Chain A
């Protein structure tokens, strides 16, 4: 048949489309946003462990993190007032055993220059053999003012030992203040004792004492031949501020949660749009191309789905059938293709009634040939546009459903993070770092696709090209 034809979409080669897309401001912004979004999604898939969804729902995984802590970078604006979370890694370690008693000495020093020192100190034991072996720990702190605080023994009987709230440590810190500064009951009831290691008394008031603090943690294991290894032990100082994005009510690292939201939300949007567009193309083309009774029936079905109130139904079914996020996506897509199908049907109708189709028919072309060679090539570019247009709707609707804690409460989606923020009083306590970023990201992803659609508009709507 014909010689090699140049590949063109709506009269433009792919190169021309690309140049047209990138030449507009909107196209440039869209491209930049899109690259950022894809980069974050890939980074999230690579950087997060594959079972991150499970970890997110394991509260013990996050227990060493502070609860409700703002991000660490607020220190830029607050003049380094808040002590950041600190997992102590480079401690000096000596261990051994004598007379059937295993011992380990952990030594490290921290520089304290913060008005709000660390909240708590955790000893993390990664081996059951250690915390099942009647182990105890002593803590000695040499302060910059030359005074030394002796604390302990605290029994190390679980994976995770929080020193600050042990009644014994609180009373030892109180008696330290009593004997050195004559201050009674320095540690208020219900509060952790650890911050008070970093204070001193001046004129009866407790003020932060800045400088270098040397910590020595000595552990003894009494049930014979237990060997204490460096890799089994860890020390964490719970900060007032945490990481890039702060933490929530369980101490979840919000930066990781937000990162995990990228691939999920992208998948949600793309999957919804893909199903919507596939159904819309099928039904729109079949209705317009066959006409007659088929068209009549399909148009009625389309009207029916346009009239279904998708969102309330989505809520009801998510409650009744405890849907997962994927069920919700399939349902949402299955009821929201109506508008797109209507557009495609109108388009095919218009193409069908144009003169070149008549000529082709007169020249003896079959219906299948016309569908393949005239109708599909003209409709396909538009479906790409429809696809892009449908993505934000899917993302926004699913985020809204997640905000009700439905359909996918098990995943760290942005909607879910916001749901917990609302539930645990982020609004009445002003936890802005928990509320602002997830919503911004939802908006960012939705707006990215809207900008891509805007950039594509001149391509699919030739009337706008030279406007």
Chain B
């Protein structure tokens, strides 16, 4: 328990360090964002007053200046950068993320960045989290099986597949899938073809935005979701299963060479018991460590772009839209970076806990 507490405190300190660093670098651009927003607001108020017509231009200008001054003070813009960073962190942590420059691009009525990101989160959870877990499950099964048949033709095939899939850009595989199973299947008028992107057909959008869970209870909407989900999920599996299999195979092979495995064999224990207790169980922490170190690359490398390729309504696609909106939509981009950092660190925290639970050496140390 003590180790766990120390690790968590450690991680939380690092979390704040990461947030601080990102906030510090972004504080310049973020301050500019805020300034333009404040100036717009002040101008709106002043022009309302000017319409009522009882002010001279100098009065209006003074009023505008004082409103801007007060708002600057309220938002902490008059403070030096290192203090402003805490304002930014605070705003980010309470989900006060401001408004998008181009709300039309996202089709989220309120235009609030937090609403846009909240609407995209379920899609990311569905594709990324489910996709990673499923591919890890399948991949580790394949890897361990092939390690037990070391040197066989199947084992070599798994090894090469794993190596090649580590070098495959996931988003490009997505593009190929779309080209073959969406474009070519529909050009040859095949009865079965897949959509060219999107998370759902447009008629179900409002349902998804209102409550993603309600989609799972409506059979028509669910079928539509699965139809859209098939190609992205297949892409994720093709690319990720190989890496997991390769990795699990290596770990299991290393463990299988340990003395205690040889000793267990000498004792004459049944094969199932040896693989289960003496090979798989000691391999678990190492496999988890790799998940730990591999996660940033997996989630934030491939998935952001894969979502964009499939126009899958998740964080990655919103990133893509925000970058290409008429001009870069900074409030959304900055908030997304924050959101993904938080998400990532939360994941790491969970994995650390799992790791401590699984590895007795760390628990007692």
A residues at B contact (CB < 8 Å):
26, 300, 303-304, 306-313, 315-317, 319-320, 339, 392-393, 396-397, 399-400, 403-406, 418, 421-422, 426-430, 432, 435-436, 438-439, 442-443, 445-447, 449-451, 454, 463, 467
Contact = CB atoms under 8 A, between A and B. Distances in A.
A404 B168 CA distance: 17
B172 A443 contact: yes
Interface in B135-185: 163-164, 166-169, 171-173, 175-176, 178-179, 182-184
27 contacts: A26-B163, A304-B17, A304-B18, A307-B15, A308-B18, A309-B337, A309-B340, A310-B300, A313-B22, A315-B319, A392-B166, A400-B302, A400-B304, A404-B323, A405-B323, A430-B183, A430-B187, A435-B179, A439-B172, A442-B169, A443-B168, A446-B166, A447-B164, A447-B166, A450-B163, A467-B253, A467-B257
B26 interface: yes
A307 B300 contact: no
A397 B305 contact: no
A235 B205 CA distance: 54
Contacts of A427: 175, 178-179, 182-183, 196
B345 A307 contact: yes
Contacts of A315: 304, 319, 323, 333, 337
Contacts of A446: 166-169
B171 A400 contact: yes
Contacts of B293: 306, 339
Given A309-B296, A339-B293, A443-B167, A436 B301 contact: no
Interface string B74-114: 00000000000000000000000000000000000000000
Q: Is the interface of B mostly helix, strand, loop or mixed?
A: helix
B117 interface: no
A404 B175 contact: no
Given A422-B309, A443-B167, A451-B163, A312 B341 contact: yes
Interface in B292-315: 293, 296-297, 300-302, 304-305, 308-309
Interface of B: 10, 14-15, 17-18, 21-22, 25-26, 29, 163-164, 166-169, 171-173, 175-176, 178-179, 182-184, 187, 196, 253-254, 257, 293, 296-297, 300-302, 304-305, 308-309, 319-320, 323-324, 328, 330, 333-334, 336-337, 340-341, 344-345, 348
Given A311-B297, A435-B175, 17 more contacts: A303-B14, A304-B14, A307-B14, A307-B348, A309-B341, A311-B296, A315-B333, A315-B337, A319-B333, A339-B293, A404-B305, A405-B324, A406-B323, A436-B176, A438-B172, A442-B167, A443-B168
Nearest to A453: B163
Nearest to B164: A447
B257 A450 contact: no
**Which 10 interchain pairs have the tightest Cβ spacing?**
A446-B167, A439-B172, A447-B167, A311-B300, A312-B337, A319-B328, A312-B340, A450-B163, A316-B337, A430-B183
A454 B163 contact: yes
Contacts of A393: 297
Nearest to A318: B323
Contacts of A436: 176
Contacts of A405: 323-324
Contact of B167 (A396, A421, A422): A396
A421 B183 CA distance: 14
A320 B26 CA distance: 9
A467 to B, nearest CB: 7
A449 B163 CA distance: 10
A261 to B, nearest CB: 13
Contact of A439 (B10, B26, B175, B320): B175
A421 B308 CA distance: 14
Contacts of B300: 309-312
Nearest to B338: A312
Interface centre among A319, A397, A426, A449 (most CB of B within 10 A): A319
Given A320-B29, A400-B305, A439-B176, A447 B184 contact: no
B323 A319 contact: yes
B198 to A, nearest CB: 13
Interface centre among A393, A432, A443 (most CB of B within 10 A): A443
Contacts of B337: 309, 312-313, 315-316
B175 A392 contact: no
Contacts of B328: 319-320
B302 to A, nearest CB: 7
A463 B257 contact: yes
